Structure 1
Amino acid sequence: MRAAALYSLMALLPVTIEGLQLKERSPNSTPAVVGLGFEKTRVPKHKTDKRKRKDKAYAEDLVNEKVLYNAQIQLGTPGQKIDAQIDTGSSDLWVNSPDSKICRSKGNPCKQSGTFNKDKSKTYERVNSDFNITYVDGSQASGDYGTDVFQLGDLKLDKLQFGLGLHSTSENCVLGIGYPSNEVYVATTGNKPYANLPQALVDEGLINSRAYSLYLDDFRADKGQILFGGVDTEKFQGELQTVPLVKPRGGVYQEFAIDMTSLSYNKGGKNTQIMKGAVPVVLDSGSTFNNLPPSLVASMNKKLNGFYDGRLGIDVVPCDAKNSDDFMTFTFSGIDIKVPMNEMVLDPSFLGMGQLTDDSGTQMCIFGVAPLDGDDDQAILGDTFLRSAYIVYDLDNNEVSIANANMNSSKSNIVEIGTGSDAVPSATGVAHPVTTGDVAGTAVAGPMNPSETTSTNAAGAQPTAKPEHILGLAGGAVLAAFL
């Protein structure tokens, strides 16, 4: 049974990282940490269509199934239970109405995610009719923005704004937790952002700053965890190290984009470099695979004796790689994250397929990497990378802190994140962060107060209503050699 777990725990040990202050709470004070447990859900491909702008498409169109990281929330009075996909790459919470087109279709496709009936809530208030999202594959949701009671376990927010899909062709509800500047409302109307979940938690004094940590755990684990305003020191190995986000071209941060400066493959103890230079990548929990420049994917396939299967529309590699101790190392300005090949190479059953073999009879498996349409499109590191990393997304300071995940850790030691940008300057920040310069950002019309302009990382990859409303989009500069 899915359940959102609320954590409001006293920290035991102090930890500091540049830009964030992780600290103990005094025994008589209330810890400013909100924890949200989530479970993994596998759904058919058409239920997980890309939620990105059309020129920032993820190359996942032919994937049959996908694992979603869903959290159970409640909306309204009395509360209506909804399973919403956690997405760091978008910023709106939106849910389906039971009257939407997709939810009225044969087979009750919205049963798994749930729906919200505004007429059954005593506290629902309509805001406007500006909610309108069109996905990359053409699926869409439109309707009203409204406010209502939002509940995570015992925690309640009285008037959280969200989108209500009155007309929808996608059955998944989404809990976007990115920058407010990345809300579809901003892109489609040019208006100021509203307070989405991270901002609302700060406004209510429940956490100190707009920062949260993400722990997906390994592929076989059933559950993961987000801590809003906190870090669990038992869920990572070594030090958290901090890198700045790539500066957005429009001056307003929207996405969590950092520069990947190297990629290498360790096979049988021998390390081979695949890429060197700098490729801006967005860290996005809403993407199953890593979506990388086609030249880089080709280089990765070459090292693994893999290839693109045009019949299936996916990249495949020999299954032996999955059963080895080999790994890939993703490097970010000196921060090395090791990703085991059993996290990168997936059994065909993951996509609902039977056994795959090449012409020589070698058993082939799914490679958890997909090529972008072109080398200049925005690269994405999705769940096949994120499971191996522990990441703190810091919206207030426009940076992320990264460490290797401590897989299957049953221990917990939660410390809260404080405020301020220079709590312990350069304590664990990388000495010489590499940056390729500007990447795309949205120029937001109208004046914005400080809380609205303190935003996130770079390239605009949000759900969007209509292409003509997209402002300032372009792919990140790729300054790298693929070996």
Structure 2
Amino acid sequence: MRTTTTTSTLALLATSAHAALPHLSIAKRDSNLQTSPLARGLIRRDGGTVGTNVFDILAYSTGGAYYANVTVGTPPQDQVVILDTGSSDLYFDASTASTCETTGPYSCRGGTFNPQNSKTYSIADPAPAFNTSFGDGSTAVGPFGQDVVGLGDVLISNVQFGVAQEVNSTTGYAIGLMGVGYSENEAVQQHPYPNMPEVLRDTGVINSRLYSVFLNDVAEYSGSILFGGIDTTKYTGELATLNILADINTGAVDQFVQTVTGLSASISGKTIPLFSGGSPNEQAYTQTDTALPVLLDTGSSAWSVPTSYYEKYIAPNFKFVDSQGSCSCSHQNDDTTLTLEFGAKINITVPIREFVVPIYNATTNQPYPYPGGGEACAFMIVPAQSTGQGFQTLGDAILRSMYVVFDLDNGQLSLAQAKINSTDAPNIVTVSAGPSGIAKAVSTSYSAAPSNTNSIAPEVMNATGSFTVSTAQSTIGSATGTAAVPADAQVSGGASGTGSSSGGSSSSTGSKGAAAGLVVPRSDWSGLWVAGISVAMAVLGAGIVL
């Protein structure tokens, strides 16, 4: 049985056992870095929410990525980790990893963890207990450790995580990762452990395994994840709940899979229906169904569609995309949108600027030129072969236009059109435990769903000791905007913010995260640019290694 110890320092939580919702957020920074309230990290707390940041880095990967600031150890060591709904592990790169001792294109840019410098660190399971591999051929191996992890202004002791003592990065910089998928998909050989959604629930900080994600517009540095609640100012229109599809092989709910049941394009004011009439349930897995099962994955940059769909629906309407999957960034200004229907219930409209994304040189942080003039952009809807899992990956190119509530306990996703660049003061509502939690929290413009009758992956019991929760002296990662981005990732002379080229991880011991380590064909950029620089675009990428 799990036990929770709460220290006396939780004065801010004293009014309610579930008052503090860790809210990782960031707003676009204004030009005056010294006088802006956000420059000082003064993020107002609504209903006990905890503010820190989720930020966007173009230079770390083709298409960018969404990262969070966390700390580990005593005294705390700062870490930058990818926020990934397509995988489940929390892990950091070890300072002793040979990759992290270099300064080249495959070095560790997100900070490293030195266990010897933490007086509260212990080994939970010796190396190679943490052993994960990725779709791009990258690997990370080491022990599972246990220490104090900081998130927002919450510090939690006895949190388990991987320590990557061996890091083999094949496509770019190595970065740590915070996977927030079902813990059933962790890269463990024997003993699953509570990951971050479960840790926060176990400590009583939130009521259930639930969080909301808002990535915001591609031109912003902004994004947020709110554990335990919903910010009603971050979406517009109806919030619709859909049941997560069961796994095609096991019949259990353990990944965030839903269906795209219809697709249309609007080009220069003309609406072009592409496909419709697909099934909103497991029937979509059949080859005769027109729906596309998709994994909602913040750790992936692109929307991967079957090659047949790409050739029939996408390529004819986006003829400016070349054979390398690139185009001139001038097309970001085209009068073009896509509208996706999810689960035969909710429509999401995506402007072209969200899936035509600038490409940066990860070493120089400079944009690439496009042959014929202007700057080069990647087209982030890509053809892909079968994953063997029954679904493709729907990444940040689409997710930026969506507000998504991931409800792990009830096996459901709630979707709405994102209200990008909203300047409204946050209106954060706490979601209570149970099947009616969202309905109680969102009283208007809400469409519920019947209970998911499939088997839902259960919460993992904490076998390594009790958690202790306290508050940090200052908010972790309180800087915002460009100040939150590591100096070596600052882009020069280009647009900010896009999605991630990484995808969920796949363990060599059986983890299924993000299409089970599927190797996706990459664009060959060699010889395309004047400088002759080769850039690999990994649309699933897998986890942290970019």
TM over 0.5: yes
Residue 366 (1) aligns with residue 366 (2): no
How far does residue 365 in structure 1 lie from its aligned partner after superposition? 4.5
Task: State the partner residue of 1:389.
Answer: 402
Q: Distance in 1 between matches of 2:294 and 2:194?
A: 26
Q: Distance in 1 between matches of 2:374 and 2:103?
A: 40
How far does residue 385 in structure 1 lie from its aligned partner after superposition? 0.4
Classify the secondary structure of the residue corresponding to 2:99: coil
How far does residue 315 in structure 1 lie from its aligned partner after superposition? 1.9
How far does residue 469 in structure 1 lie from its aligned partner after superposition? 7.7
Which of the residues 327, 341, 354 maps onto 2:369? 354
Task: State the partner residue of 1:331.
Answer: 341
Classify the secondary structure of the residue corresponding to 1:295: helix
Q: Distance in 2 between matches of 1:318 and 1:246?
A: 37
RMSD (Å), alpha carbons: 3.4
Classify the secondary structure of the residue corresponding to 2:316: helix
Task: State the partner residue of 1:480.
Answer: none
Could you list the per-position Cα deviations for residues 324-348 of structure 1 after superposition, in whole angstroms to 9, with x for gaps in the alignment? 2321001111200000011122345
Amino acid at match of 1:343: E
Task: State the partner residue of 1:34.
Answer: 22
Q: Distance in 2 between matches of 1:79 and 1:66?
A: 30
How far does residue 429 in structure 1 lie from its aligned partner after superposition? 3.4
Contact 1:127–1:146, Cα closer than 8 Å, also in 2: yes
Residue 75 (1) aligns with residue 90 (2): no
Which of the residues 305, 309, 314 maps onto 1:300? 314
Task: State the partner residue of 1:401.
Answer: 414
Q: Distance in 1 between matches of 2:203 and 2:82?
A: 23
TM-score, reference length from structure 2: 0.68
Contact 1:295–1:375, Cα closer than 8 Å, also in 2: no
Task: State the partner residue of 1:451.
Answer: 459
Q: Distance in 2 between matches of 1:206 and 1:240?
A: 24
How far does residue 32 in structure 1 lie from its aligned partner after superposition? 4.2
Amino acid at match of 2:261: T
Residue 199 (1) aligns with residue 198 (2): yes
Residue 413 (1) aligns with residue 455 (2): no
Residue 103 (1) aligns with residue 111 (2): no
Could you list the per-position Cα deviations for residues 1-36 of structure 1 after superposition, in whole angstroms to 9, with x for gaps in the alignment? xxxxxxx9x9xxxxxxxxxxxxxx997775242111
Structure 2: gaps (5+ residues): 1-9, 25-52, 279-290, 462-502, 518-546
How far does residue 452 in structure 1 lie from its aligned partner after superposition? 3.5
Residue 428 (1) aligns with residue 446 (2): yes
Q: Distance in 2 between matches of 1:335 and 1:464?
A: 30
Aligned pairs for 1:87-166 (under 5 A) are 87-107=84-104, 110=107, 112-129=109-126, 130-166=129-165
Q: Distance in 1 between matches of 2:67 and 2:111?
A: 12
Q: Distance in 2 between matches of 1:214 and 1:267?
A: 29
TM-aligned CA distance change 1:467 to 1:154, over 3 Å:
closer
Contact 1:348–1:355, Cα closer than 8 Å, also in 2: no
Amino acid at match of 1:367: F
TM-score, reference length from structure 1: 0.76
Identical columns (%): 33
TM-aligned CA distance change 1:233 to 1:301, over 3 Å:
same
Amino acid at match of 1:463: S
How far does residue 254 in structure 1 lie from its aligned partner after superposition? 2.4
Residue 84 (1) aligns with residue 81 (2): yes
TM-aligned CA distance change 1:169 to 1:28, over 3 Å:
closer
Q: Distance in 1 between matches of 2:341 and 2:516?
A: 24
Contact 2:305–2:383, Cα closer than 8 Å, also in 1: yes
Contact 2:63–2:359, Cα closer than 8 Å, also in 1: no
How far does residue 224 in structure 1 lie from its aligned partner after superposition? 0.9
Equivalenced residue count is 406
How far does residue 150 in structure 1 lie from its aligned partner after superposition? 0.4
Could you list the per-position Cα deviations for residues 118-154 of structure 1 after superposition, in whole angstroms to 9, with x for gaps in the alignment? 0110000101131001112221110100110001232
Task: State the partner residue of 1:15.
Answer: none
TM-aligned CA distance change 1:294 to 1:342, over 3 Å:
same
Task: State the partner residue of 1:271.
Answer: 271
Amino acid at match of 2:506: T
Structure 1: gaps (5+ residues): 1-7, 11-24, 46-64, 443-447, 454-460, 476-483
Out of 202-211 and 270-279, give the one that drifted further.
270-279
TM-aligned CA distance change 1:318 to 1:215, over 3 Å:
same
How far does residue 184 in structure 1 lie from its aligned partner after superposition? 1.1
Classify the secondary structure of the residue corresponding to 1:78: coil
Residue 180 (1) aligns with residue 183 (2): yes
Q: Distance in 1 between matches of 2:449 and 2:159?
A: 40
Contact 2:135–2:516, Cα closer than 8 Å, also in 1: no
How far does residue 177 in structure 1 lie from its aligned partner after superposition? 0.8
Amino acid at match of 2:120: T
Task: State the partner residue of 1:17.
Answer: none
How far does residue 82 in structure 1 lie from its aligned partner after superposition? 0.4
Q: Which has the higher strand share?
A: 1
How far does residue 97 in structure 1 lie from its aligned partner after superposition? 0.7
Amino acid at match of 1:35: H
Q: Distance in 2 between matches of 1:429 and 1:241?
A: 5
Residue 465 (1) aligns with residue 491 (2): no
TM-aligned CA distance change 1:156 to 1:467, over 3 Å:
closer
How far does residue 159 in structure 1 lie from its aligned partner after superposition? 0.8
Contact 2:22–2:152, Cα closer than 8 Å, also in 1: no
Task: State the partner residue of 2:46.
Answer: none
TM-aligned CA distance change 1:238 to 1:269, over 3 Å:
same
Which of the residues 15, 25, 43 maps onto 2:59? 43
